[in-house]
A and B are shown apart, each in its own frame.
Chain A
Amino acid sequence: MKPSITHFICKFLYYFKYVLRVSPLSVCSDNGSWRVGDLKMQTGLKYAQPSTQNGRTDVNSVTNWNAPLVWEGTFDPVVIDAIYKKMDPRVAVVLFAVGKYTRFLKGFLESAEKYFLVDFRVTYYIFTDNKGDVPTIKLGKGRKISVVTIPSVNRWQEVVLGRMKWATITIDKQIRNEADYLYMMDIDSVFHNDFGAESLSPLSAVLHRGYYKNTRRDQFPYERRPKSMAYIPTDEGDYYYTAAVWGGYLEDMYRLVKYCYTQSEEDAKNDIEAVWQEESHLNKYLLYNKPTKVLSPEYLWSDYDKIPADIKVVRISQLVKNYEEVRPNGGH
């Protein structure tokens, strides 16, 4: 009798697994309406006819693995918004405001409310060692702040590496039940223009403003020491991506964040720290796991730099800061 029960249970679980696979349960949001892969739009929407002949000629709008390269003028925000608002995803933004960096929270959050995925459901996850420093901000409908307390550290390099560790832990324990898309963003920035749903994709990376024009791949600041897990040889590489803004589906981002964390730990065991910390590990990952959308440097500029002609819009920009003032171990 016993063997037949096990057999029955196994058969049933196999069927159960099949049913689960075809049920919307596994990728549903709380209201059960969000579906992976849909680019649906409502009827009756009016917008200019797209062209097959006339577009931006000063920049490339696709990568060589056929993923879009997102610049102002390559997309129509009316269509994009219509498609993604119908999907109505929940978006998480992971922010680290440790030590003196809490002073940047107000500027970031207030500008995000004006420009970042407006009218979408957004939750800001603020990782801080000082809960009291988190300002009260007026938030739009469907937007929340969630504070995660983490311990203080002494070196800024440890803050940066700690991001991966705490992000991995918290995504696993908490955020994966609460979000469909996840962004990692540097807190010391301010939004200046619309940063919208055109940035959403399973894995979106941002081109680093310093290396997108004419830099040869052997000049990219990849980690070049073979001892490090982030090593990339000089004859490989597509682009150099920034770690100040990255995003994607929750599970894809979790995988990437965890990768950066475990690779950093591995390096630490071998007494080496990658030249640009998690940015180095991120670039290695993205070389072999191609992003599905590459965002132009419009999606992370810097107040230090003059704006060239091909950057028609600066959507978010890093602030000029006095490193001695804000870093726990001074300038370096």
Chain B
Amino acid sequence: MIHLINVKSLTAVLVILGVLFLYSFLSYRTSHQQNITAENRLSADVVAVGNEFHLVAPEHLQYEQPSIVQGSRIDVVAVTPWLAPIVWEGTFNPVLLDSIYKPKNITIIATVFAVGKYIMFLKRFLETAEQHFFVGFKVHIYVFTDRPNEVPPVTMASGRRVNRTRKQPKRSNTLTEFATGLFPEANSDKKRLHFFLQLIVRLVPTAKRWQEISARRMELIQMVIEEQLPNNRNYIFCLDVDSQFHGRWGSESLGGLVAVTHPGYYRDPRSKFPYERRPSSRAYLAPGEGDFYYCGGAFGGLLQEVHHLAKTCRHNFEADAQEGIEAAWQEESHLNRYMWINKPSKVLSPEYLWQDFKPRNPEVHIVRFSGVVKNYADIRPNA
């Protein structure tokens, strides 16, 4: 008899669980069934819920009183018309922002593509990142390259010892992964807060055209993010490898969807922006449209925001390719269209991606990240 009761209650429990499961599964499914509209919208898989927005500051932090009627910068605009901050030196207090973001225990992910001869830029990129990029935070840098053996051994500043571990490559169809970890010495410089930078190298096939390398970036970014989800509290920045850091790039750059204004066009009228102008492309922006010209060489944000961007741009790029069109500046064109419709919640000034060959304009008080001078014929597979 006891046996009979157990069976009945078990069946009841299973039926209830089955109903709950079916309900949640069905509602999860319907959220996927949104067709791709002319506005490039793909159905979203996850919701960006507010940990990003809880800006908790520690008690008793000492800093100068902020002013309301005196902006520290009057030569530049510090907010977009949709009220996203435009980050310039002087518009933020780094101590306050760091004190807000460090306790959140986030990891900053960075992706760089060092395919073909571009591997030559990686050493300088990594060395300068260690000095300037999110110092004091956990940083994971994903390096995509077809020459994993040329990934340089990086010596850390201030004489810290480097521990390198090399795992056996896993078997997978296209990618081989092995991790090089860099660990700070136990009793390193006491002024440095706990700091952990990890380098993860991913193998990608060699490409014949530089445009192909450019095009695959979105797909690879999408895949890296998908591995990280459902942990959605972290941020990702996708950066050009042929650049180096000269100044702080830190928590002031964090936001839901973060774009960088291109150094070549931030003073120009929108008619001069090199948007894709052929209506047949999915990156098309009509005359009279567009806020800023954003860089394809530096963008970022919360994982799921960038995932949506990467997925959309990749889809549009591939759809264009099937019709025999390649946008004027490849994924940068698609990114610009995406950000016209999906407004970035934070815009970084050209301090965040300058060009070494350009003399500095007076409003750029500090160059934080800058493309190095290079000879394209030397480094592109199909110059």
Contact = CB atoms under 8 A, between A and B. Distances in A.
Contact of B69 (A12, A198, A213): A213
Contact of B82 (A21, A37, A76): A76
A233 to B, nearest CB: 8
A64 B85 CA distance: 11
Interface in B327-349: 340-346, 349
Interface string B276-290: 000000000000111
A291 to B, nearest CB: 8
Contacts of A216: 65
Interface of A: 1, 5, 9, 12, 16, 18-27, 35-43, 46-47, 49-55, 57-70, 74-76, 79-80, 83, 198, 202-203, 207, 212-214, 216-217, 233, 235-239, 249, 251-252, 287-293, 296, 310
A63 B66 contact: yes
B82 A39 contact: yes
Given A16-B24, A65-B96, A75 B82 contact: yes
B12 to A, nearest CB: 12
Contact of B92 (A65, A203, A289): A65
B45 interface: yes
Contacts of A287: 57
Nearest to A76: B81
B71 A60 contact: yes
Contacts of B75: 53
B344 to A, nearest CB: 8
A165 to B, nearest CB: 24
A251 B266 CA distance: 38
Contact of B17 (A12, A52, A67, A213): A12
B97 A66 contact: yes
Contacts of B76: 52-53, 55
A239 B66 contact: yes
A65 B83 contact: no
Contacts of A23: 24, 27-28, 31
Nearest to A55: B77
B282 to A, nearest CB: 12
Contact of B50 (A59, A202, A214): A202
Task: Name A's interface SS.
Answer: loop
Interface of B: 6, 10, 13, 17, 20-21, 24-25, 27-28, 31, 38-39, 44-50, 52-63, 65-72, 74-87, 91-93, 96-97, 100, 230, 252, 256-257, 261, 266-267, 269-270, 288-292, 302, 305, 340-346, 349, 363
A61 B71 contact: yes
Contact of A236 (B60, B70, B77): B60
Given A24-B31, A59-B71, A292-B53, A50 B83 contact: no
Contact of B363 (A53, A69, A74, A75): A53
A212 B77 contact: no
Most chain-A Cβ atoms within 10 A of its Cβ — which of B77, B269, B305? B77
Given A9-B13, A289-B54, A64 B79 contact: no
15 contacts: A24-B27, A26-B47, A39-B84, A41-B340, A43-B341, A50-B80, A52-B76, A57-B71, A60-B69, A60-B72, A61-B71, A198-B83, A202-B50, A213-B68, A287-B57
Contact of B77 (A27, A37, A52): A52
Nearest to A200: B83
Contact of A249 (B44, B50, B341, B342): B50
Contact of B86 (A52, A57, A310): A52
A66 B92 contact: yes
B349 A52 contact: yes
Contact of B46 (A22, A79, A296): A22
Most chain-A Cβ atoms within 10 A of its Cβ — which of B70, B81, B345, B349? B81
A22 B44 CA distance: 10
Given A46-B288, A83-B82, A290-B55, 11 more contacts: A1-B6, A23-B28, A35-B44, A55-B79, A60-B67, A64-B96, A79-B343, A212-B68, A235-B62, A249-B53, A288-B56
Contacts of A62: 71, 78-79, 85, 91-92
Nearest to B337: A43
B81 A50 contact: yes
Nearest to A47: B81
Contacts of A5: 10, 13
Given A53-B77, A76-B82, A65 B55 contact: yes
B150 to A, nearest CB: 39
A36 B82 contact: no
A59 B68 contact: yes
B39 A43 contact: yes
B158 to A, nearest CB: 30
A177 to B, nearest CB: 17
Nearest to B290: A49
A111 to B, nearest CB: 24
A203 B53 contact: yes
A131 B67 CA distance: 44
A49 B291 contact: yes
